[in-house]
């Protein structure tokens, strides 16, 4: 009986080890900066921020693999922002590659967005 349980346990463990494949992500930089890749990155970041419109610099992800976006304070004539600290955390994104594709990762939620039109290289 013990031998059967041992064999069954070893079979389950070996199957589980084969199926849990961990992808290795490497920080990356854009290798094809341009309007098309910029538009895709801007749309992806906007989607990640639940549809918030963002304006990104033309050189986004060309010198650094990390992008930090701070929340803007809403201002209105009838209700100016209160004085004090904004305790909201900025959103952090990283451009990475797995060797075949470029991916933006939201560092807080670990959600991944593969990019179709963006080419990247390993960050040195």
Q: What's residue 89's pLDDT?
A: 80
Would you give the end-to-end CA distance of the chain in angstroms?
Answer: 56
Total count of domains within the chain:
1
Asked whether residue 79 carries a pLDDT value surpassing 80, the answer given is no
Residue 35: domain span: 22-71+89-124
Q: What's the pLDDT score for residue 42?
A: 95
**Could you tell me the pTM of the whole model?**
0.71
Find out whether 26 and 55 touch, Cβ atoms under 8 Å.
no
Residue 60 located in a structural domain = yes
pLDDT digits (tens, 9 = 90+) for 86-100: 556 889 999 999 989
CB 6 within 8 A of CB 83: no
Residue 84 lies in a domain: no
Inside any domain, residue 2: no
């Amino acid at each position: 009986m013990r031998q059967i349980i041992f064999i069954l346990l070893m079979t389950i463990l070996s199957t589980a080890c084969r199926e849990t494949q961990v992808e290795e992500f490497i920080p990356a930089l854009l290798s094809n900066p341009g309007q098309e890749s910029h538009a895709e990155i801007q749309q992806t970041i906007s989607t990640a921020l639940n549809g918030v419109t963002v304006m990104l610099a033309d050189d986004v992800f060309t010198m650094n693999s990390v992008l930090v976006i701070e929340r803007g304070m809403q201002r209105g004539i009838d209700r100016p922002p209160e004085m004090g600290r904004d305790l909201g955390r900025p959103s952090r994104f990283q451009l990475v590659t797995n060797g075949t594709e470029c991916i933006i990762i939201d560092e807080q939620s670990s959600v991944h967005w593969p990019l179709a039109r963006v080419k990247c290289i390993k960050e040195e």
